[in-house]
Amino acid sequence: MSFTVAIDGPAASGKGTISRAVAARFGFAHLDTGVLYRAVGVKGGDPIAAARGLSAQDLARDDLRTGEAGQAASKVAAIPEVRAALVQFQRDFAARAEGAVLDGRDIGTVICPDAEVKLFVTASPEVRAHRRWLELGGDAGQVLADVRERDDRDMNRADAPLRPAPDAIVIDTSELDAEAAIAAACAAIEARLG
């Protein structure tokens, strides 16, 4: 029997850290769906063709964690044909018998609307920008502007906008350290597992 945990939220909210920890704790497979969009974005050329032809080699690139890759991902993710090309890959992953954790922007609302647990991880734009600045460096004001620009694009795109599923548990990490945020997520999953 598969058990799916859908974790959504904006950039630098902590959803990746939480997702990896949850997957390790419960022995579930983990997919950072943002990597799919980052790979399409950095591949270049026609993004629809890139999404349809995505390979394991594309997902192993060492430049997928850059700020540029994140911005490229947000842009190609707004293209409905790119999203459609990647939906089945994500749904197949979610159906694994050993359980799966998927993190992204539309997992609980579009990809896995029937997930057993849906979490929406968020934090204020200022906190998220500071986290991103600590990770990538650069000009702090520009990092905040980039976070706000990406939020606007992700939340206002026509196809699968970033928003919590109606039945998602919201975890605001603005005032939480990683350990406390992970504990909140694990508690929600344990409650559902019974």
Binding residues for ATP: 9-17
Binding site, residues?
Answer: 9-17
Kindly list the strands in the beta sheet with 4-8, ordered across the sheet, starting from the edge strand earlier in the chain: 29-32, 100-104, 4-8, 117-122, 169-172
DSSP for 100-129, written as a single string: EEEEESSIIIII-TT-SEEEEEE--HHHHH
Q: Which sign does the torsion angle of CA 40, 46, 48, 54 carry?
A: negative
Q: Is 137 left (phi over 0), alpha (psi -120 to 50) or beta?
A: left
Instruction: Let me know how long the chain is.
Output: 194
Query: Which residues have a Cβ under 8 Å from the Cβ of 21 and sit 6 or more positions away?
Result: 178, 182, 185, 186
